[in-house]
Amino acid sequence: MDLLSLSVGLFIILILGLLSLKVGIVDHSGLIAGVLVGIPIIIAPQDGLKWFILVLAFHIVAAQFTKYKYEVKRRKDTAQEKGGARGWRNVIANGATAILMALCSGIWGNPIFLAGFIGAVATSTSDTLATEIGLLNPKSPRLITHLNKKVPPGTSGGITILGELATILGSLLIGLLAWVLGFDGYLLEWSSIILIFIALIAGFAGSTFDSFLGASFQGIYRCIICGKITENKVHCKRNANQIRGFGLLDNNLVNLTSTIVGAISAMLIFSIV
Ligand SMILES: [Zn+2]
C-alpha cells in the first residue's frame, strides 16, 4: 500500500461518507463506523481500493433498496426506522467479517481470503435485498422452518418468492462486480464463471442461514402497547415482552453470523474447485 493510494482511499471514504450522511444512508454513528470499516479494507489487502469498491457497492445498493418504496413499507409498518439511515451497530455487523478477511489477506496474501471476502459481501447484499424487496411481496411470507405457516410481512425468518429472487439478484450483482473489478485474475485458476458461481452460492447460503436463525433462535418480542410482533427490544418507545429466541441474538448478531457463514461457504468452495 503506497501513500498515494492510501490518501486517495481516505479522501474517497470521507467524501462518500459525508454524502451518505447528507442523503440519509447512515446516521452520524454509521458514518464513523463506515470510515472505520473502510480504512482497514483499503489498507490491508493488495489492491484494497478494489476491495473497498465492492463493500461500497453493497452500501449503495442496500441504501437504494431500503429507500425504494419506503412509503409503501411504512404504510405496512415494515419500513426500517429513521428513514432507513444505518447506525454504527448495523454497519459494524455487516462489515466485521469483511474486515477480518481483508486483514487476513494483508497478512498471509492467500487468495482464499478474497473468496471469503466476496462471500461475506455477497451475503450482506443478498440479505438486505431479500428483506427490502421481500417486504413488497403481494402475499404473506412463510416461515423458513415451517413452510406451510404464513407470518406477517417483516417477520424474522419469513421468506417470499420475491425475497428469494432478490437473494439471487444481490449475490449476482456482487459476483458480476467482482468480475468487472478483475478479481477472477487474483484467484489464479478461477474463471469468471466460477467467481460468479461462488458469490451466488455463498450469498445464498449466508442469507438462508440468516432466515433460519431469524425463524428459530433470534430474540422475538411482542410490543406491550400495540401488540405487534417485532425483532426490536423496544417498540412504541416501551420495552417489549420477549416471546421466543435468545435476547442476545438480535438482528445485528444474526447479520454478523450470516456473513461468517457466507465467507466460510465461499472459502470451502474455493478449496474444493
Ligand atoms: Zn408497538
Write down the residue that cell numbers 404464513 correspond to: 150
- Please identify every residue whose CB atom is under 5 Å from ligand 1, which is an ion: 223, 225-226, 228, 235-236
- In this prediction, residue 193 carries a pLDDT of 87
pLDDT tens series, the chain, 273 aa: 577 777 887 888 888 888 888 877 778 887 888 888 888 998 889 888 899 999 989 988 888 888 777 777 777 767 676 666 677 888 888 899 999 999 999 999 899 999 999 999 999 999 999 988 988 888 999 999 999 999 888 888 999 999 999 999 999 999 999 999 988 877 656 688 889 999 999 999 999 999 999 999 999 999 999 888 888 888 888 999 998 899 889 989 999 999 999 999 999 999 988
Which pLDDT does position 159 carry in this prediction? 94
Which strand (E) or helix (H) includes residue 222? strand 220-222
Give 230 Cα–ligand 1 centroid separation in angstroms: 8
Ligand 1 mean position to 257 CA, how many Å?
27
Ligand 1 midpoint to CA 181 (Å):
45
Task: Report CA(233)–ligand 1 centroid distance (Å).
Answer: 10
- Going from the Cα of 87 to the center of ligand 1, the distance in angstroms, rounded, reads 21
The pLDDT of residue 188 is 58
- pLDDT at residue 194 in the model: 87
Q: How far apart are CA 9 and CA 11, in angstroms?
A: 5
3-state SS record for 139-204: CCCEECCEEEEECCCCCCCEECHHHHHHHHHHHHHHHHHHHHCCHHHHCCCCCHHHHHHHHHHHHH
- CA 223–ligand 1 middle distance (angstroms): 5
pLDDT of 83: 65
pLDDT number for residue 229:
83
Q: What DSSP string runs through 53-121?
A: HHHHHHHHHHHHHHHTTHHHHHHTT-SPSGGG-B-HHHHHHHHHHHHHHHHHHHHH--THHHHHHHHHH
**215 C-alpha to center of ligand 1: Å?**
20
| Ligand 1 centroid distance, CA of 75 (Å) | 14
**To 5 degrees, how large is the angle CA 234–CA 237–CA 238?**
60
How far, in Å, from the CA of 224 to the mean position of ligand 1?
7
Give, as one character, the DSSP assignment of residue 245.
S
Alpha-carbon dihedral sign for residues 19, 25, 31, 36: negative
- Cβ proximity of 249 and 217 under 8 Å: yes
